[in-house]
Amino acid sequence: MNAQMPSKVSLPGVKQVIAVASGKGGVGKSTVAANLAMALHISGHAVGLMDADIYGPSVPIMFGLGMVDPKTTVFPIEKYGIRLMSMGFLVDVNQAVIWRGPKVAQAVQSFLTQIDWGQLDYLIIDLPPGTGDAQLTLSQSAPLTGAVVVTTPGEVSLIDARKGVKMFGEVRVPILGIVENMSYFEDATGTKTPIFGVGGGARLAQESDVAFLGELPIDPRVAQCCDQGEPIVRKYPDAAIARSYMALAKTVADAANKPTATALPFLQL
Ligand SMILES: Nc1ncnc2c1ncn2[C@@H]1O[C@H](COP(=O)(O)OP(=O)(O)OP(=O)(O)O)[C@@H](O)[C@H]1O
Ligand SMILES: [Mg+2]
């Protein structure tokens, strides 16, 4: 861990900065971040999405974009009305990025400081998995309104999500809430089958004394839409999960705009 505290970046044109995080990889952070950003935009807000996953950026693929020439491109890049920034615009995602910690932190800092995000209601930050240096640096240096922690219902994911909750508590970033992804599969008859366990996200929220933001179903079209470069909330707005993302966006926006958001009790687990 860095002994030095990174200095807080100021983003005067950005009203709310929200990190989407989880302790564990592959639980759906990037999908939640992309669809949350899209849902907020559809709801009429000015939105940016910053991909802080330097080693495994997913924003370009999820928005149907690739590498660009930085000499001729103005960042952030706008797609579907959302302002985007990702390492994947600058380096080939198939080439392993072998940067060490400080350089990663520098890249993330420069996304915040050297890019003109303009006036935004919400800047959503897609964090890499885990609770290491990269997450810590960003949590300390970005002017975060709060964090949304994503988990799946299974115990392993919950253990890691708990670490995520604890990390934000340590750096005094309020948790806006916990969202449980891949909660169940709903078939054509409306029968809901839990695949990865039941109620873990709600339990974690309760034991951590933070809001539970809801459950998101499993929908194979989520992955298809990601691969095809259009978030499901835009491509299939009538899908149950799209409606869940819209509801999530409203709950997150309400939590972020509560005057007490920055005065939430910090977690001491
Ligand atoms: N609700 C869902 N239903 C079906 N598939 C989903 C759902 N949410 C996410 N996925 C799929 O699960 C995979 C992992 O999702 P995603 O990349 O968003 O996770 P992540 O937490 O960002 O992963 P990483 O830790 O690698 O950054 C992707 O293929 C995504 O399309
Ligand atoms: Mg991701």
189 alpha carbon to ligand 2 midpoint, in Å?
Answer: 32
Give the pLDDT score at 259.
Answer: 66
* Residue 9 buriedness (CB in 10 A; 0-12 / 13-18 / 19+): middle
Q: Quick one: pLDDT band at residue 138, thresholds 50, 70, 90? A: confident
Tell me if 62 CB under 6 Å of ligand 1: no
pLDDT in tens, 144-203: 999 999 999 987 778 888 888 998 988 889 999 999 999 999 888 888 888 877 888 999
Q: Which residue has the higher pLDDT, 162 or 246?
A: 246
Tell me if 56 CB under 6 Å of ligand 1: yes
Give the pLDDT score at 264.
Answer: 47
229 alpha carbon to ligand 1 midpoint, in Å?
Answer: 14
Nearest CA to ligand 1 atom 3: 218
Q: What is the number of the ligand closest to the CA of 24?
A: 1
- Between the CA of residue 46 and those of 59, 62, 92, 123, what are the distances in Å? 18, 19, 29, 9
Task: Please answer whether residues 49 and 84 qualify as being in contact, where contact means their C-beta atoms are separated by less than 8 angstroms.
Answer: yes
Q: Is the pLDDT of residue 127 over 90?
A: yes
Residue in 20, 24, 30 to alter for ligand 1 test, most ligand atoms within 8 A of Cβ:
30
In the predicted model, what is the mean pLDDT of residues 11-17?
95
Residue 102 Rama label (left phi>0; alpha psi -120 to 50; beta): alpha
Report the share of the chain in percent with pLDDT over 90.
62
In the predicted model, what is the mean pLDDT of residues 221-244?
96
In the predicted model, what is the mean pLDDT of residues 223-237?
96
Alpha carbons 128 and 33: distance in angstroms, whole number: 11
Q: Decide: helix, strand or coil at residue 71.
A: coil
Give the pLDDT score at 4.
Answer: 56
Catalogue the E-assigned strands of 54-143. 77-79, 82-85, 120-126
The residue among 257, 177, 255, 184 whose CA lies nearest residue 211 is 177
29 alpha carbon to ligand 1 midpoint, in Å?
Answer: 7
Domains of the chain plus CATH, in order, are 14-258 (3.40.50.300)
Q: Is the pLDDT of residue 2 over 70?
A: no
Nearest CA to ligand 1 atom 30: 223
